[in-house]
Amino acid sequence: MGAHIHGKEVSSIDYDKVRDSHHEFLGSYLGGSNEKAKEAIFYSYTRHINGFSAMLEDEEAIEISKHPQVVSVFENRGRKLHTTRSWNFLGLEHNDGIIPSSSLWKKARFGEDSIIGNLDTGAWPEAESFSDEGYGPIPSKWRGICQSDSDPTFHCNRKLIGARYFNKGYATLAGSLNSTFNTPRDTDGHGSHTLSTAGGNFVEGSNVFGYGNGTAKGGSPKARVAAYKVCWTPISGNECFDADILAAFDMAIHDGVDVLSVSLGGEAVAYANDSIAIGSFHAVKHGIVVVTSAGNSGPAVSTVSNVAPWVITVGASTMDRQFPSYVTLGNNKRYKGESLSVESLPKGKLFPIITAASAKATHATTYDAQLCKAGALDPKKVKGTILVCLRGENARVDKGQQAALAGAVAMVLANDYASGNEIIADPHVLPATQISYTDGLDVIAYVNSTRAPTASITHPTTQLGTKPAPVMAAFSSIGPNTVTPQILKPDITAPGVSIIAAFTGAQGPTEQAFDKRRVKFNSVSGTSMSCPHVSGIVGLLKTLHPTWSPSAIKSAIMTTARTRDNSVEPMLNASYIKTSPFAYGAGHVRPNRAMDPGLVYDLTIYDYLSFLCAQGYNETQIKTFTQGPFKCPDPINFINMNLPSITVPNLNSSVTITRTLKNVGSPGTYKARIRNPIGISAVVEPNSLEFKNINEEKSFKLTLKVKGANAPKDYVFGQLIWSDNKHYVRSPIVVKCT
């Protein structure tokens, strides 16, 4: 129902008035009974978002949606955490890579002025990453609480300064919840991992079973952090529900966070029906930067989620660290895989190797057997062998468990076609290694063509400086944007494969019920893991540039990214094929460059409202995102929205696009350089811009024109670069002809 217009001095009386107005409004549709309305409403959003969540019949919801004061009515949909269920810390890419330089960290005071909130599964407060040793008083602006109603062991401190839980939306589907749900404690591991990646304190000697040993630290290691638990045990595959997500956004804005990290999402839907889009708009309106994950539905096209232009959407890529474990066959051929297995086979000893498909149980299908699903393997055939399992469907670590239960001495996990060369290091329960799709084909061919095939597997090690890196993860969702094709998504990519970070003490490292081991740090993969890398970098930038708007920070991160790997070659996907901005957005994040981008593309909240007008939303619907009236501009052309990327999905002959650059650095003259998309000519006017003052703004026009009669049939990509020979302000150009 829009936004609230509270004054500066707000009391509980004001919130009660809002709640009463919701009861009165709904009551008018329930036979005039406010009591029925009170029973139906389980959330009144009273702080910043104006609306409520209620249990209603379909007919009642339809009637309410017709009221002129109501902007949108949508179902309490479920969303997923964006982890592949299999994590590393702020990455180990060297030189100009992901890890901020010591000078940047010191200049930004390790992000100590920032408060990073995390919508996730909560936090494990005992984790060393949340230690407050060396911290001063909690910032006076903080208005949050430590909500530990039924968990007296949950304590906040001067580092973990707040924690709340939201489960009323979840309860509408799960049924009545017992008191164990009334806590922000993380029993899953996901929330602790993501929050510590964004803002975890320094922890020496961090590792997973000895692998990746070093000092753990988040992107903003001295930031204060707050946990907002909105995700719970899955129901039909969904863990986080819209009603709870909106409630968390409403309270996080109230509490005073500077950054919100949101490693969850669902299918892209209309903005007015998207809880993350609505909640994040209200946050951005209050100067909060919202960072979201792109999703784990790759490599299929048009799968990217969290596509609103006011959020930073992050894809996932690898870093230059691996945990190699080799499989050597009886024919002396050797294949490199990865693993975090604790157990190992005797060095150099060969064991029989068989495919899981050949070891199927009598009642099982070959399909289930090759995937090493529960109950699909015949122990008589498996015992004493190295078992080759195929990746897909069931959890990678569960395949190892099934192999072990059937008597295998070790497992080779071969990628399926979709996974390509993407290899994820997992803490398997038996000696194991995961190998690429092509290597898997070779191993299976050897097994099937040899009378008595044998193999051995080496114990994993930690290897740094690997090439090529970064490579896009196969699971990372890609564009184009299905809601607004004119907006490139994702915006950026960051490390999201085998990320080591803090973990819960309530789960084993495989996150499977059979795993009784416990670890302080764990390795997990997903865009859930790449998202908080960027959130941590935002925390540094907020401390370094406190007056920058969320869009200026987004621009700084995007325009300073790089699209080449550490071999100075174009970035590749998991099949080692050159990839595109639909996978990596503007490129791989470079925090050291983002601190001094030179120029930024800035936007105000009114630009976003105009964008919604151009999307076809009327002025009543736009009230979902703001308070009070807003008049849509006329004419509307949101292709000129001042984004750091340029996307034209329907070029017919030619188009002219306007952008405005703001100087946030030293005075200088910037000249334009263009890498033309194939079959497209691009001209910039003027092609030189002189900036004399800080915050000075200058505009330019970019004309894109189809060359000749043979227009390209698919999307083509280029790049616009403004440079003063010190700064390089890069914008991806994405074009498709009609």
- The answer to whether residues 509 and 519 touch, using CB atoms and an 8 Å cutoff, is yes
User: How high is the pLDDT of residue 353?
Assistant: 96
Answer whether residue 306 shows pLDDT above 80.
Answer: yes
Q: For residues 210 and 517, give the distance between their C-alpha atoms in angstroms, rounded to a whole number.
A: 14
Of 632 and 476, the structure prediction assigns the larger pLDDT to: 476
The alpha helices in 137-274, defined as continuous H runs, are 168-174, 190-199, 242-255
Partners of 1 in beta bridges: none
- Whether 96 shows a pLDDT value over 50: the answer reads no
Q: What's the pLDDT tens digit per position in 118-157?
A: 999 999 999 999 999 999 999 999 999 999 888 999 999 9
Q: How confident is the model at residue 85 (pLDDT cuts 50, 70, 90)?
A: very low
- In the prediction, which pLDDT does 108 show? 76
pLDDT value, residue 420:
87
Q: What is the pLDDT of residues 576-629, one digit of tens each?
A: 899 999 999 999 999 999 999 999 999 999 999 999 888 888 777 777 667 667
- Tell me 425's DSSP state: -
pLDDT value at position 711?
84
Averaged pLDDT for residues 516-534: 95
pLDDT at 592: 93
pLDDT digits (tens, 9 = 90+) for 211-253: 999 999 999 999 999 999 999 999 888 899 999 999 999 999 9
Residue 393 is which amino acid?
Answer: E
> What φ, ψ does residue 556 adopt, rounded to 5°?
-60, -40
Mean pLDDT taken over the chain: 92
Please report where in the chains the tokens 């190699």 appear, as a residue.
324
For residue 638, the one-letter residue type is F
Arithmetic mean of pLDDT, 401-415: 95
Tell whether the model's pLDDT for residue 534 goes beyond 50: yes
Residue 333 has pLDDT above 70, yes or no: yes
Q: What percent of the chain has pLDDT over 90?
A: 78
| pLDDT for res 88 | 28
Residues identified as active-site: 120, 190, 528
What's the gap between Cα 692 and its chain centre?
38
What pLDDT is attached to residue 93? 30
pLDDT band at 311 (very low <50, low <70, confident <90, very high): very high
pLDDT on residue 84 = 64
φ, ψ for residue 599, nearest 5 deg: -130, 155
- Euclidean distance between CA atoms 537 and 589, whole angstroms: 9
pLDDT band for position 78 (cuts 50, 70, 90): confident
Q: Which of 504, 498, 501, 495 is nearest to 524 (CA)?
A: 498
pLDDT score of 5: 74
Per-residue model confidence (pLDDT) at position 624: 65
Supply the pLDDT for residue 95: 30
Most confident of 63-72, 417-426, 644-653: 644-653
Q: Please, what is the Cα angle at 182 between 180 and 185, to 5 degrees?
A: 80
Q: For residue 501, give the nearest of 477, 527, 532 by alpha carbon.
A: 532
- Stretch 483-508: mean pLDDT, rounded? 95
Least confident of 518-522, 623-627, 628-632: 623-627
Give phi and psi for 513, each to the nearest 5. Answer: -60, -30
Q: What is the pLDDT of residues 681-705, one digit of tens each?
A: 999 999 999 999 999 999 999 999 9
Backbone conformation region of residue 652, classed left if phi is above 0, alpha if psi is from -120 to 50, else beta:
beta
